[in-house]
């Protein structure tokens, strides 16, 4: 057999992998039905009725390509945020935007700083473009701002990733601390400030738009997947200076945005009353999950997201057994992948029926594990 490879040396060296095992794969592989889908940080409360109505009304237009400039959505977001339209770029969810940022900034072998146990899809993109991951452990279940800054300076890293509020722990930093961190970075270092959970955090957990908008090395990523309930639509956006936002035009798929997804995002942005209602439901469900954990002698961690990390009190092996055990009852949850974070399980918010299934199954799983 010939040793010839049709792929680049980098691609040939990479594993064929998916960063997350989805509930659909679990159903296929284990022959189990997901009854409570509370593991993927989706918003089980769903989008606004006005969003669904807008999508139905415009469904007949799906034969058309979406506007390759995404002008109307960029304009709507700019007005909503109080920034210039040139400061907004659109992508197919934050995951796609992360890949584009890495492609823009990282050359093979370049160091990229992130937190050990942080969002694995970002790591997937870094290795996919040949970057070298430099990881900093969490401190007290929060990303370590001082540690990240020290690593950036030590490595002379061109890129650092920081999520606030955080996935997978649900923790957060106050806005003033984040601004201080951003301004302390070398101007040669790009900061990805991932704010996927921006709508669900407490007051003061996010820097104001004005606090960072003039810094060309800061890219804030946000999404319609979480609070707006449009994870399947894949609509994310970037907030930065016009010069940085314009750089995405160099590499993005200009016809990559789904026309109905754009319709949905525009309708969701208009319906802020529904957003406020859903955020209240998310807060209530977080309290419900925390109460279930405490009733089973587990420790829920404070959360600013649409999920709650729960300390199992033991190690990753035990936490994995809980995850697998709950799936036997049709309750799909996840857990962090790296110690010591993997002592926890992670439960996403959902409607009461899902919470009730979790509440019923958890004590049975824990009793069986002993």
The partner residues of 307 in beta bridges, in order of sequence, read 348
- What pLDDT, on a 0 to 100 scale, did the predictor assign at position 10? 93
Helix (H, G, I), strand (E, B) or coil at 144: coil
Q: What's the chain's average pLDDT?
A: 97
Q: Is 4 a residue whose pLDDT tops 80?
A: no
Give the fold, CATH level 3, of 18-46+273-369: 3.90.1150
Question: How far is the CA of 60 from the CAs of 33, 48, 56, in angstroms?
Answer: 34, 20, 8
Q: Is 2 a residue whose pLDDT tops 60?
A: no
- What pLDDT, on a 0 to 100 scale, did the predictor assign at position 218? 98
Q: CA torsion, points 236, 241, 243, 247, in degrees to nearest 10?
A: -20
**Which CATH architecture fits 49-270?**
3-Layer(aba) Sandwich (3.40)
Tokens of 120: 């694995």
- What pLDDT, on a 0 to 100 scale, did the predictor assign at position 20? 85
Instruction: Name residues whose C-beta falls within 8 Å of residue 273's C-beta, 6 or more positions apart in sequence.
Output: none
Q: Is 1 a residue whose pLDDT tops 50?
A: no
The partner residues of 160 in beta bridges, in order of sequence, read 113, 191
pTM: 0.96
- What pLDDT, on a 0 to 100 scale, did the predictor assign at position 253? 96
Q: Is 356 a residue whose pLDDT tops 70?
A: yes
pLDDT digits (tens, 9 = 90+) for 9-26: 999 999 888 888 899 999
Q: Is 3 a residue whose pLDDT tops 80?
A: no
Domain extents in the chain = 18-46+273-369, 49-270
Give dist(CA 95, CA 349) in Å, integer.
21
């Amino acid at each position: 057999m010939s040793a010839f490879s049709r792929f680049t040396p980098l691609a040939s060296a990479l594993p064929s992998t998916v960063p997350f095992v989805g509930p659909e794969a679990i159903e296929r592989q284990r022959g189990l039905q997901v009854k409570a889908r509370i593991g993927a940080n989706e918003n089980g409360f769903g989008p606004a009725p006005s969003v669904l109505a807008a999508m139905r009304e415009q469904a007949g237009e799906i034969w058309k390509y979406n506007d390759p400039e995404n002008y109307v959505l960029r304009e709507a977001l700019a007005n909503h945020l109080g920034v210039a339209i040139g400061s907004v770029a659109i992508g197919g969810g934050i995951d796609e935007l992360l890949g584009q940022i890495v492609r823009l900034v990282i050359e093979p072998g370049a160091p990229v700083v992130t937190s050990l146990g942080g969002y694995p899809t970002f790591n997937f993109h870094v290795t996919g473009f040949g970057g070298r991951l430099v990881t900093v452990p969490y401190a007290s279940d929060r990303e370590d701002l001082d540690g990240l800054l020290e690593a950036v300076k030590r490595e002379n890293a061109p890129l650092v990733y920081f999520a606030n509020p955080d996935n997978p722990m649900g923790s957060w930093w106050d806005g003033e601390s984040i601004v201080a961190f951003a301004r302390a970075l070398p101007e040669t270092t790009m900061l990805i400030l991932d704010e996927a959970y921006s709508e669900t955090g407490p007051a003061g957990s996010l820097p104001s738009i004005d606090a960072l908008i003039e810094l060309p090395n800061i890219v804030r990523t946000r999404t319609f997947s979480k609070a707006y309930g449009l994870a399947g639509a894949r609509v994310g956006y970037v907030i930065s200076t016009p010069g940085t936002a314009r750089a995405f035009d160099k590499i993005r798929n200009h016809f990559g945005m789904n026309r109905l997804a754009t319709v949905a995002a525009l309708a969701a942005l208009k319906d802020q009353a529904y957003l406020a209602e859903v955020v209240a439901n998310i807060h209530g469900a977080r309290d419900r999950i925390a109460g279930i954990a405490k009733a089973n002698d587990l420790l829920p961690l404070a959360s600013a997201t649409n999920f709650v990390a729960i300390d199992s009190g033991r190690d990753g092996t035990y936490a994995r057994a809980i995850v697998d055990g709950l799936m036997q009852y049709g309750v799909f949850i996840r857990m962090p992948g790296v110690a010591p974070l993997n002592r926890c399980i992670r439960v996403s918010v959902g409607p009461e029926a899902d919470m009730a299934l979790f509440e019923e199954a958890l004590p049975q799983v824990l009793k069986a594990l002993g």
